[in-house]
Amino acid sequence: MYKYHRSLPLPPYTSVVGMFGAAIGKDMATAQEIFKSLKLKVGIAGSYAGGCNDTWRVLTTKNPENDVVERQILFKPIYHILFCGDESPIRFCERAFSYPVYPLSLGRPDDIANVIVHDISECEPENLQILSNTVVIGVPSAQADESLFDIDKPINTGPCTLLYRLPVHFLFENGFAYERTADEFRDFTFIGNHPITLKEQVKGFKIEINSLAGELETLNIPILEI
């Protein structure tokens, strides 16, 4: 049997919660409840340099046949994850990600993440309308961009806008952290490289960072209201 495992362009909400669990030394079942009790909200943005497909042959004891799995690998991804909440939980996250108990992974155990913790800022969410390389909850309406249809000057839009219905909470069988069933879902829209102007504004933050080219860059990162 042939299976294709596509990678999301950005880590989903549950991956961020899983990284939080690794940072504090807890399994996913415990981490998601702690994360919820702290009333933390997240915002996710970023991009990657390229990608390829990696072919695996999986041997199982239940099936005498060999399953062929082709996984999409993202090359040199750089993600920006912000946590929003009261000061005490944010300080807790700062300590946890600065000195994680377990290695932080973006998915599989060998997808180790190198984390840089930035300063804590006190600010209020603002209205965002132009977004790129980020993710929002739901299916927002966007204004038509004529540059996408300019055949004389075609542009490279990079990863397209993708819509996924993804889990945001799991039930665990008999307390075992790996036997889980998703019991709550949300729709997420992943926005690619080409900036999109939303018809209705969303709440989020404007974050200034230094790009790989050494230039100051402003990121519009919407808040995921889970």
Domain boundaries, the chain: 2-222
Question: pLDDT value at position 179?
Answer: 80
Q: DSSP alpha helices (H): ranges in the chain?
A: 13-24, 28-37, 87-98
Is pLDDT above 70 for 195?
yes
Q: What is the DSSP-derived secondary structure letter of residue 171?
A: E
The average pLDDT across 96-116 equals 87
Question: pLDDT value at position 43?
Answer: 96
* CATH tag for 2-222 (out of 3.30.70, 2.60.120, 3.90.1720, 2.70.98): 3.30.70
What is d(CA 223, CA 138) in angstroms, rounded to the nearest whole number? 12
pLDDT band for position 145 (cuts 50, 70, 90): low
Give the rounded percent of residues in the chain with a pLDDT score beyond 70: 84
Is pLDDT above 70 for 94?
yes
The average pLDDT across 130-154 equals 74
The average pLDDT across 109-123 equals 85
Q: For residue 114, what are the contacts with CB-CB under 8 A and spacing of at least 6?
A: none
pTM summary value: 0.85
Instruction: Look over the chain and give the mean of its residue pLDDT values, rounded to a whole number.
Output: 85
Instruction: For residue 136, give the nearest of 84, 184, 191 by alpha carbon.
Output: 191
Is pLDDT above 80 for 70?
yes
Question: pLDDT value at position 148?
Answer: 54
Q: 173: helix, coil or strand?
A: helix
Q: How far is CA 167 from the centre of its chain?
A: 13
pLDDT band for position 110 (cuts 50, 70, 90): confident
What is d(CA 32, CA 149) in angstroms, rounded to the nearest whole number? 43
Question: pLDDT value at position 206?
Answer: 94
The average pLDDT across 135-148 equals 75
